[in-house]
Structure 1
Amino acid sequence: MAEKKIMLGNEAIARGAYEAGVKVSAAYPGTPSTEISENLVQYKEIYCEWSPNEKVAMEVAIGASISGVRAMASMKHVGVNVAADPLYTVSYIGATGGLVLVAADDPGLYSSQNEQDTRCIGRAAQVPVIEPSDSQEAKDFMKFAFEMSEKYDTPVILRTTTRLSHSQGTVTLEDRVEPEDKVYERNIQKNVMMPGMAKLRHIAVEERTKAMIEEGCQFPINRVEMNDTKIGVISSGIPYQYVKEALPNASVLKLGMVNPLPRKLIEDFAKKVDTLYIVEELDPVIETQVKSWGISCIGKEIFTVQGEYSANMLRKAILGEDLDLTKPAQVPARPPILCPGCPHRSVYSVLKKLKIHAAGDIGCYTLGAVAPLNVVDTTICMGASISSLHGMEKAKGKEYIKDWVAVIGDSTFMHTGVNSLINMVYNKGTGTVMILDNSTTGMTGHQDHAATGKTLQGEDTNAVSIPELCRAIGVKNVTEINAFDLEGLEKLIKEEVAKDEVSVIITKTPCIFKVPASKVRCVANPDKCKKCKACLKPGCPAITMSREGVISIDDTMCNGCGLCQQLCKFEAIEKVGE
């Protein structure tokens, strides 16, 4: 009997890649995709890496595919934007060894800056998109994706979402297949995208798409479930699960391939039902195309284009059932906060004291935008803090940014921040860049990167020196400092922002989860406390104040970073356990 195992969607995707005979995987960590690579590492037959960014990861996978092996790249939806350049072009080149991009979308914005729909990118790039609905399909669809890639000479996007990536289901395990490596044959007409070659390859892409539209009607990943024909629903991915729960008697066309759409299959299904609904999260990708064929259907007229769906939402929208009274009690909101002992809190405390604005970036340090720190003024995308500060300086002049800095993490700096710093130096900019180096990719679960000295497999490797890299770019003023040296940091920031040239301050202090647990704790002395609340300003969750205004420190949360102790002018906080 085949072994069965309960797996996260991401774990099942990794298992599917293993069973499909994948040999190369490249990725950049990003919620909700991160666990794919973290699970792939267990399969020693697959080379796995953290690439510095998604563009590089995509190009690594493309190179492996061209050489003749099955390869994949994994990233979150906004990472697909970074990888778009090679993605759109490899659509023309195609795939020698199977090539799959796993793109993890985030309906509901659990950990992202937008609700981008990767299906739209698939359409624009003319790359087929398939979408599983549970963990078993996540594994099976990965295997199908590689077969599809090689049959139609195309990269394939497997789209997942946060709900699928992080939910569990039973998966039947199978053995790994070992497809023979394809023989590499030099073919500049196919692999060198100069205009003359690209024009011919575009024709091949159009023919490929036509074939998939027709043959997709027989793909096993698309299926019709005929029941009561009064209501028919076309759905895919996780929304299919909501449809089955809310409308168990409805007829359903479950699409596994959401781009290109199997037109005849959809037309035949539509003729068999009285009222047709399109249930899809985010953009009306399926709905728009179906309506363009003259098929009457109901979609975003009654469904939202924002956030996640639910069975109750579908019952209310389609059946008119208002189940508000059955909702569980509202749980108090728990906004994200910096961890106790986080070095970013110390940096932001100094910036706030100096009334300095920060052009922010993507990472844990984005939390510096909210109370009580309120330092970060902008957050756009990975690497944008440095570029946007440069834009401000060029728009308003050197004096305007004397009370501004750019803040960026070490992983994000290696991702795309380094390009922005190059631009700043090259175009004779001024301004201070603060690289908050906590020696990890903190927000996505503490993954390594090119400056940590460890690979995805945990092996020792060369660690890129961020200070030396900055100097090599041409930055003359590069200083490293401990984030918890409040006095030294304040002095340094004042000096650097006053300069009429580019300067880099690197706060070199590891994430609290990257250092051994400390026995040191900070303890409050109520007798010395003057109730000035200085220790509360950074917002450390380990510190609370009673109704009487007396400070206490939770020793189960405190890790002895000493930030509160430095802020207290009355020696009412001391360290113990040193």
Structure 2
Amino acid sequence: MKKLMLGNEAVARGAYEAGVLVATAYPGTPSTEITEHISKYPEINSEWSVNEKVALEVAIGSAIAGARTVVSMKHVGLNVAADPLMTVAYTGINAGLLIIVADDPSMHSSQNEQDTRYYGIFSKIPVLEPSDSQECKDFVKLGLEISEKFDTPVILRLSTRVSHSQSLVELEEKEKIELKPYDYNPSKYVSAPANAKKRRIFIEERLKELSNFADSSDVNKIEYANKKIGIITSGVAYNYAKEAVSDASFLKFGMSYPLPEEKIKEFVQNCDKVYVFEELEPIFEQKIRSMGLNVIGKEIFPIVGELSSEIIRNALLNESKIVIEKIEDLPQRPPVLCPGCHHRGPFYVLKKLKLHVAGDIGCYTLGGFEPLNAIDTTICMGASIGMAHGFEMARGKEFAKKSVAVIGDSTFWHSGVTGLIDIVYNKGHSTVIILDNSITAMTGHQENPSTGKTLSGERTNQIDFEALGRSIGINRICVVDAYDLKALEETIKEEVNAEEPSLIITKRPCVLIKGAKFDFKDYKIDPKLCTGCKLCLKAGCPAISFDGKVAKINDSLCVGCGLCKDLCKFSAIVEVVK
């Protein structure tokens, strides 16, 4: 039977069919749906881990214990998981371990643009790269087989378009994979220097075997047609190239690392002119040129952003620069916080108080843009708290009184806890604001340690921010309604001036949470009272606009949070009496 599937859904199906018993992940676009779909298979024990490092560590334990295991994350998540990754490359595994990483070319929902293939090269473990949903499913099975055959973790590299595009997938029955015996082998799994030195030699031998496999396996395919033009490519770039130059000859890599050197030599020798078309970094190109072969790559294809069939067509016509200029000149529509968003009130107050704000990763990152402009910095998950302490370390206690860190509830559990402990331990004075909207909102409403539910919706211990703060030695802890601007302002003023660390927790659930209850009302503008001062626009709510000189509320967008009413000094925003 065939079914139309997203790439991420097909990965989940592949995990099911391959007999995976354990799946871990931390949500992050474009990888989130993998684990959401896996959770629909009761045969697989799946979880949202607190962060990607923990997710990989749980997965490593599971694989050594004998269960086929997958762990999923986005590209920046692999940075968080890099510590265990580098060492499990040495120790190897017992049952198969597949590390699924979704890159985000063009940074649709990411703070940077990375190429996960480098992690394969860095750690010397194989990287597979599917080009459509069928390969997403098939490569999960293949990856687990390679993992077990060569005693190695395997990276499955996806990208936004592969993860979120649909194509037909042939469904098969679930394989009967037994739980392997627990592998008690301290000389292998205790990565102390004496053991690691021996495993270092094993890694090099394994890499040679994997290189031979890359040449002999049909995971890397040569498709000869018109030999005047040869194209070497992988992943979604293969589809773009096929659409742009359908009659060319192709060498398609399903295994991005290590590369099949003999197949490359054969292909380049048999084609008049060879182009390397790869998304993001010139990894293939550099390797092929190091083999003494002449190919054309990033001198005509862009190194920045997603590729497309249009880009390859124009590049082959020597018009790549024009294409890039056209893309840059397109009008931009920046994302905005939703109407009624929990984060809008705190950011409005922080801007009003002219405080320096160390921001973090989440919906609230949008507080750094017009019209709120309330965030000074955003670097990576959990960095806000450490950075606020860094402000104080560099510029003193008085600067700390003009600064705060803001972080979401899920991001705090991910990697903010340690920064808060660091402030307390090192006698800092920073004020930390946890924006608790009761969910992991940015990636589509996943549960986290403070929601009281697991991935499967089961009730679990609900970890308390206040109790945690007290347990690590914070004496000043305040809980404030995110919509109460007066209380927010008074609390923040008081806490930033305290001579010790402060923790402020702003609470209100995300307005998009299904089933959440709100005491919101309907509002309208009284045109007779509106002076056109535009103060109501400073909160950045997309439900408010101006019709001539008078403000206007869009009923189809407004959720009735009443924040704009509190901003209006002329009482022009009034409740609709029904």
User: TM-score, normalised on structure 1?
Assistant: 0.97
Which residue pairs with 1:221 in the alignment? Answer: 219
Question: How many Å separate the matches in 2 of 1:379 and 1:320?
Answer: 38
Structure 1's 517 and 174: CA in aligned 2 closer, same or farther, altered over 3 A?
A: farther
Q: Which letter maps to 2:408?
A: G
**Is this contact kept in 1: 2:409–2:450, CA < 8 A?**
yes
- Measured after TM superposition, the shift of residue 57 of structure 1 is 0.2
- 1:345 aligns with 344
Partner of 2:414: 415
* Corresponding residue of 2:573: 573
Q: Which runs of 5+ in 1 are unaligned?
A: none
Matches within 5 A, 1:234-313: 234-313=232-311
Count of residues in Structure 1 that have an aligned counterpart in Structure 2:
573
Q: Which residue of 2 aligns with 1:526?
A: 527
Is 2:469 aligned against 1:475?
Answer: no
Moved more, 525-534 or 41-50: 525-534
Cα distance between partner residues in 1 of 2:519 and 2:317: 57
* Match status 1:175 vs 2:176: no
Q: CA deviation at 1:517?
A: 7.0
- What amino acid is aligned across from residue 269 of structure 2 in structure 1? K
- Please show how residues 143-154 of structure 1 align to structure 2 within 5 Å: 143-154=141-152
**1:84 aligns to 2:76 (yes or no):** no
> Take 1:440 and 1:420, find their aligned partners in 2: how far apart are those partners?
21
1:203 equivalent to 2:204? Answer no
The 1-side partners of 2:535 and 2:401 are apart by 26
Amino acid at match of 2:358: A
407-416 vs 314-323, greater mean Cα deviation:
314-323
Q: CA RMSD in A?
A: 1.6
Provide the residue aligned with 1:537 in structure 2: 538
Partner of 1:341, secondary structure, is: coil
CA deviation after TM superposition for structure 1 residue 320, in Å? 4.0
In the alignment, which residue of structure 2 is the partner of 1:166?
Answer: 164
Q: TM-score, normalised by structure 2?
A: 0.97
Amino acid paired to 1:253: L
Structure 1 Cα separation of the partners of residues 399 and 346 of structure 2: 22
Deviation at 1:269, TM superposition (A): 1.3
Which residue in the other structure is 2:27 paired with? 29
SS of the residue corresponding to residue 343 of structure 1 reads: coil
Q: What secondary structure is seen at the aligned counterpart in 2 of 1:376? A: coil
Matched to 1:535, the amino acid is C
**C-alpha distance after superposition, 1:169-218 (max 9, x if no partner):** 11111111121111113101111100010011111111111001012112
How far apart in 2 are the matches of 1:120 and 1:320? 29
Report sequence identity in percent. 55
Aligned CA distance change for structure 1 residues 46 and 577 (closer, same or farther; 3 Å): farther
CA deviation after TM superposition for structure 1 residue 333, in Å: 2.6
Q: Distance in 1 between matches of 2:476 and 2:176?
A: 53
CA distance, structure 2, for counterparts of residue 545 and residue 21 of structure 1: 58
The residue that corresponds to 2:119 in the other structure is: 121
Q: Which residue of 2 aligns with 1:7?
A: 5
Q: Deviations over 1:22-45 (max 9, x none)?
A: 010010000000000111111110
Once the two structures are superposed, residues 203-256 of structure 1 have per-residue CA deviations (whole angstroms, 9 ceiling, x without a partner) of 111111100101211222211101111111110000001110111111100000
Equivalent in 66, 69, 77 of residue 68 of structure 1: 66
Structure 1 residues 384-423: aligned runs within 5 Å: 384-423=383-422
Counterpart selection for 1:101 from 89, 99, 102? 99
- What secondary structure sits across from 1:382 in the alignment? coil
Check the 8 A contact 2:520/2:562 in 1, yes or no: no
**1:12/1:136 contact within 8 Å kept:** yes
CA distance in 1, matches of 2:362, 2:174: 37
Aligned-residue offset at 1:575: 2.7
- Give the SS at the match of 1:380: coil
Which string of whole-angstrom CA distances, capped at 9 and with x for unpartnered residues, describes residues 357-378 of structure 1?
A: 2100000111111111111010
C-alpha distance in 2 between matches for 1:183 and 1:577: 69
Structure 1 contact 214–264 (Cα < 8 Å) conserved: no
Match of 1:453 in 2: 452
SS of 1:446's partner is: coil
CA distance in 2: counterparts of 1:349 and 1:568, whole angstroms = 13
| TM-superposed deviation, 1:332 | 4.5
Contact 2:64/2:183, CA 8 A, preserved across alignment:
no
Greater displacement, 41-50 / 216-225: 216-225
Distance 1:243 1:534 in 2: 51
Unaligned runs of 5+ in 2: none
- 2:401 partner amino acid: K
d(CA) in 2 for partners of 1:285 and 1:518? 55
Is it true that 1:131 corresponds to 2:129 in the alignment? yes
Partner of residue 55, structure 2: 57
Aligned-partner SS, 1:104: strand
Amino acid corresponding to residue 83 of structure 1 in structure 2: A
- 1: CA distance between counterparts of 2:319 and 2:497? 63
Rounded to whole Å, the distance in 2 between the matches of 1:246 and 1:379 is 38
1:374 counterpart residue number: 373
1:484 aligns with 2:471: no
Please tell me whether the aligned partners of residues 300 and 318 of structure 2 are also in contact (alpha carbons under 8 angstroms): no
Aligned to 2:564: 564
What displacement does 1:93 show?
1.1
Distance in 2 between the 1:108 and 1:387 partners? 28
Structure 1 CA distance for aligned equivalents of residues 420 and 319 of structure 2: 56
Answer yes or no: is the 8 Å Cα contact 1:233–1:252 preserved in 2: yes
State the alpha-carbon separation in 2 of the partners of residues 94 and 441 from structure 1: 33
Return the alpha-carbon distance in structure 2 between the equivalents of residues 33 and 242 of structure 1. 22
1:47 matches 2:48: no
